[in-house]
Amino acid sequence: MNLSQTVGYYSREDVQQAILSMASGREVVGVFKNGSFDTRPNTINNGSEISVLARAGAIEFHCSVERWKDVMGLKQANYEGLRSGWDLVLDIDSPALQFSKPAAMAICQAIEQHGIKGYWVKFSGNKGFHICVPWEAFPKSIAFQDSAAMFPEVARKIAGYLKDQCRAGLEKALLRKWSPEALAEGAGKPLAEVMTETGIDPFQVADIDPILISPRHLFRMPYSLNRKAFLVSLPIAAKEIADFAAERAKPEVVKALPFLRQPEAGEANLLVAEALDWHAKQQRLEKKGAAKVFEDRAASLEGQAVSEGLFPPCIKTILKGVSDGRKRSAFILLNFLASIRWGHADIEQLVLEWNQKNTPPLPDSYLRGQLRYQQTRQKRILPPNCLKEGYYREMGICAPDQVCVTPERMRNPAGYPLKVLAEQKPASNRKRPG
C-alpha cells in the first residue's frame, strides 16, 4: 500500500469509529513504516487525529494494555497512581498462521471453561492472533488489594496458568495434523528443540508471547493495519478461527463493525482464583525442586568451604556492616554460609566479626542464640531468593554483576559460588576461610 491508500483506509468513518471505541483511557500511538513510534505518552480523541497521523506516515495504531486515569500525565514515577485497570491480552506468536490457529483455539477453550464469554479475538494482521479478556471482567480487588495495582504480576500468572491448561490439548491438536519433523521445519527450529521425552513441546511451535504482559506495553489495535503484511488486524468470532483466511483481512474488503462484547462484572473471578492457586502450587514445587537441585550440586562442596572472594555482591555488601536490616542480614548470612557448606566454627567466627562492623552491633546474646539454633537444626535452609520481597532489593544490597546478570537469572545467592566454580577448576578456587 502507498501513502494515499493508507490515508484512504484510515479516513473511513467506520474504521475511525472502531479505533476510537478502543482508545478511551488508553495510550494510543502511531507506528511508522520503519517501526518507530510516535511520541509517548499520546492518545487520540477524534477521527481527524487519526487522519493527521496517517498523513504523517503512520501505518499502524497501537494502544496500551493498561487503562489510565490521565494518559497525558503519565510519567515513570506515577504509573501505579494513574493506572485504573488492565486487560489480559495474550499474543499467539508463531511463524505460521496454520500453527497459530490451534493455539488460539486452545486458549479460547480454556478461557470459556472458566465461564468467561465476554472476551474477544482478533487476527494480528500477519501470522498470529490476539485474545483479550477485558478489565471489566476482573475482580476489582484481589486478597484485599487493588487489582489495578497488580499488573503485570497477576496477568502473567493467569497467562502461565492458561498455557498450562491448554498444553496437552494443543500438543494433540498439532500432532493430529503434522508430524514432529513438519512442525520443527515449519517453526524453523531443530527437531531436538521441539521434541520432548514424551512427545513435543507445543509452545516451541506456537507460544504466548510474555513480552506483551509488561508495563506500558502497546499492542496493535483492532482495525489497525499491519505494516508488514498490510492486512487489517481484524476482530473475529472464536468459532471462526479454524477456517479463517488471511484474505478476509484485506483493507478493501473489511467492514469495521462493533465487536467489543462487554463481559459481566466478575466474569473472570474463577479464572483469577484458579490461576493464583495454580501459581502458588507451582512455586512450592519449584522451590522444592530447586532446593534438591542445589543440594545435589552443593554435595561436592562437603568438607570444603568456599572462599569469601567467591561470595555474591549482596553478601559482600552485608559483610561490610549494616545499619538497617541487621536481623535480616544475619538471617541471610547464616543460611548462606550453611548452604555453601561452611563449618559451624567458621560460621560463628565470621558472623561475630561481622557484627562488630554493624551500626550498632546486634546483641551478642541474639547472635549466639541464632548460631545455636542453626547448629541444632537438622536440615539446611537456603537464604531467601533474590526476588523475595523485603530483602535484597528493599535493603539496597542487590547489585548484580556479570555472574548474577539479573535477580531473575540467579534466583538465590547460594547459587552464585556454584556457578563460578562450575566455570573454573574447582581445586583452584576452594579453600577454607582464614
Nearest CA among 337, 273, 313, 340 for reference residue 398: 313
Among 10-14, 133-137, 412-416, name the one with the lowest average pLDDT.
412-416
Helix (H), strand (E) at residue 55: helix 47-55
Q: What are phi and psi of 393, to 5 degrees?
A: -65, -45
Q: How many domains does the chain have?
A: 2
Is position 223 within any domain?
Answer: yes
Beta bridge partners of 66: 86
Residues 311 and 265 in one domain: no
Mean pLDDT of 410-430: 73
Q: Residue 306, SS3?
A: strand
Residues 170 and 49 in one domain: yes
Is position 270 within any domain?
Answer: yes
Beta bridge partners of 146: 141
Residues 333 and 392 in one domain: yes
Residues 355 and 401 in one domain: yes
Return the pLDDT at 378.
72
Mean pLDDT of 397-402: 92
Residues 115 and 16 in one domain: yes
CA distances from 63 to 22, 38, 363, 421 (A): 8, 12, 56, 47
**Alpha helices, DSSP H only, in 188-306?**
191-194, 269-298
Q: Which pairs count as long-range contacts for 190-194, CB under 8 Å and 24+ apart, including other chains?
A: none
Q: Determine the straight-line distance between the first and last CA of the chain, rounded to whole angstroms.
A: 73
Residues 226 and 361 in one domain: no
Is position 294 within any domain?
Answer: no
- Residue 429: pLDDT band (50, 70, 90) is very low
- Residue 149: pLDDT band (50, 70, 90) is very high
- Check whether 297 has a pLDDT greater than 90: no
Residues 49 and 139 in one domain: yes
Is position 285 within any domain?
Answer: no
Map grid coordinates 561470595 to a residue.
311
Nearest CA among 5, 114, 128, 99 for reference residue 59: 5
The rounded distance, in Å, linking the Cα atoms of 404 and 386 is 10
Residues 273 and 361 in one domain: no
Domain of residue 223: give its range. Answer: 3-277
The residue out of 277, 311, 339 marking a domain boundary is: 277
Residues 125 and 13 in one domain: yes
Is position 356 within any domain?
Answer: yes
CA distances from 394 to 151, 314, 325 (A): 20, 12, 10
Residues 107 and 19 in one domain: yes
Answering whether pTM is above 0.75, one says: no
Q: Residue 195, SS3?
A: strand
Residues 266 and 348 in one domain: no
Q: What is the CATH number of the domain that holds 103?
A: 3.90.920.10
The residue out of 227, 243, 277 marking a domain boundary is: 277
Mean pLDDT of 399-410: 83
Is position 415 within any domain?
Answer: yes
Is position 193 within any domain?
Answer: yes
> What value does the CA radius of gyration of the chain take, rounded to a whole number of Å?
27
Is position 292 within any domain?
Answer: no
Residues 197 and 234 in one domain: yes
